[in-house]
């Protein structure tokens, strides 16, 4: 029975990045078979693992699948799996899985719409989010206020924000006249509200913000607001190869699960904005 490094299994299982898992192990937050784990531990499928005292479902290499969803996030959803305020989350409408779970590649704040990527492969998610990958993100932004050529140049050269210098690697006028205009801008990082804060630093108000591209993946026109679409295996493996990952066998999806997923896909409806969940008292 093949064993694997503990932090690698945890990362693949979607608990967090490999670096985070190493830190958690070092902090004593992970237990294996009742004993506090330590860096260097290896486990197999017989191991009972807990994180912060809670059992976790583990995905080992032989069982792991590599599937990818493109999701068009509507306004009003939060990017957490469970929200203490009971707001709608980006996970609520995703298709259920018989094995593993959907892992979000990055986040979008509640007031930002557009492209979110989900995968069942923790290693692919970590590769897409790691700073060393130098993945750019493109946003369509509607702004209220005058934007001069000097302002655009300043945004490209860099602005000192409260958490350090930030800039757009590219920013271009897209459409509109009058007070509201659309621009497309590109950032290399995923800092909290970075795009909004950059525009606001120049006295320009952002009225709408939508992510349209994450690295090589664009938001397709047929994925309407509030809906998802699964990428074909060929595209998924092409993405994994681009990120330097080894190929995997195509996911084994039972006919019944595939039919259920296709029905869910066809039943989807456009949802541009989501309100708070109804309370059942």
Domains annotated on the chain, with CATH: 4-62 (3.10.290.10), 68-131+217-267 (3.30.2350.10), 136-214 (3.30.2350.10)
For residue 34, is it left (φ>0), alpha (ψ between -120 and 50) or beta? left
Q: Measure the CA–CA gap between 151 and 93, rounded to whole angstroms.
A: 40
Mean predicted confidence (pLDDT) in 101-116: 93
Q: Which of 57, 92, 109, 163 is catalytic?
A: 109
Element (H, E) at 234: helix 233-242
Residues 65-99 pLDDT 10s: 899 999 999 999 999 888 899 899 999 999 988 77
Residue 109 known to be catalytic? yes
pLDDT at 1: 58
**Whether residue 119 has pLDDT greater than 80:** yes
Task: Report residue 277's pLDDT band, with 50, 70 and 90 as the boundaries.
Answer: low
Residues 6 or more apart in contact with residue 208 via CB below 8 angstroms: 113, 140, 141, 142
Q: What is the share, in percent, of the chain residues with pLDDT greater than 90?
A: 64
Residue with the larger pLDDT of the pair 31 and 180: 31
Task: Report residue 280's pLDDT band, with 50, 70 and 90 as the boundaries.
Answer: very low
**Whether residue 272 has pLDDT greater than 80:** yes
Of 2-6, 11-15, 203-207, 274-278, the poorest mean pLDDT is in: 274-278
Burial class (CB in 10 A: 0-12, 13-18, 19+), 239: buried
Tell me the CA distances in angstroms from 227 to 42, 58, 125, one per residue in order: 39, 28, 20
| Whether 49 contacts 30, CB under 8 Å | yes
**Whether residue 268 has pLDDT greater than 80:** yes
Task: Report residue 104's pLDDT band, with 50, 70 and 90 as the boundaries.
Answer: very high
The sign one gets for the Cα dihedral 249, 224, 263, 93 is positive
Q: Measure the CA–CA gap between 250 and 265, rounded to whole angstroms.
A: 20
Of 32-46, 98-112, 198-212, 215-229, the poorest mean pLDDT is in: 98-112
Q: Measure the CA–CA gap between 92 and 41, rounded to whole angstroms.
A: 35
Task: Report residue 224's pLDDT band, with 50, 70 and 90 as the boundaries.
Answer: very high
Three-state secondary structure string covering 191-210: CCCHHHHHHHCCCCEEEEEE
Residues 128-174 pLDDT 10s: 998 889 999 999 999 987 899 999 999 999 999 998 999 999 999 99
Beta-strand relationship, 228-230 and 68-73: antiparallel
DSSP string, 2-69: --EEHHHHHHHTTSS-HHHHHHHHHTT-EEETTEE--TT-EE-TT--EEETTEE-----GGG----EE
Element (H, E) at 154: helix 149-157
Cβ neighbour number for residue 152 with a 10 Å cutoff: 18
């Amino acid at each position: 029975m093949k064993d694997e490094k503990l932090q690698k299994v945890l990362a693949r299982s979607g608990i967090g990045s490999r670096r985070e898992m190493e830190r958690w192990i070092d902090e004593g937050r992970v237990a294996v078979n009742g004993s506090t784990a330590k860096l260097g531990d290896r486990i197999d499928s017989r191991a009972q693992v807990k994180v912060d005292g809670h059992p976790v479902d583990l995905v080992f290499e032989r069982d792991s699948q590599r599937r990818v969803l493109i999701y068009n996030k509507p306004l009003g959803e939060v990017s957490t799996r469970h929200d203490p305020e009971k707001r709608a989350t980006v996970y609520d409408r995703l298709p259920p899985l018989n094995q593993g779970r959907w892992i979000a590649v990055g986040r979008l704040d509640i007031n930002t719409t557009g492209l979110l990527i989900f995968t069942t492969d923790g290693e692919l998610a970590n590769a897409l989010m790691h700073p060393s990958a130098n993945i750019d993100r493109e946003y369509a932004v509607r702004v209220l206020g005058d934007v001069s050529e000097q302002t655009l140049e300043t945004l490209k050269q860099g602005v000192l924000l409260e958490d350090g210098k930030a800039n757009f690697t590219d920013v271009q006028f897209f459409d509109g006249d009058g007070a509201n205009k659309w621009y497309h801008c590109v950032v290399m990082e995923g800092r909290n509200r970075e795009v909004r804060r950059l525009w606001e630093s120049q006295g320009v108000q952002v009225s709408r913000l939508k992510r349209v591209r994450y690295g090589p993946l664009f938001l397709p026109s047929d994925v309407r607001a509030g809906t998802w679409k699964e990428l074909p295996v060929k595209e998924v493996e092409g993405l994994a190869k681009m990120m330097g990952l080894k190929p995997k066998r195509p996911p084994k999806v039972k006919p019944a699960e595939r039919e259920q997923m296709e029905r869910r896909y066809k039943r989807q409806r456009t949802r541009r904005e989501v309100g708070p969940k109804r309370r059942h008292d």
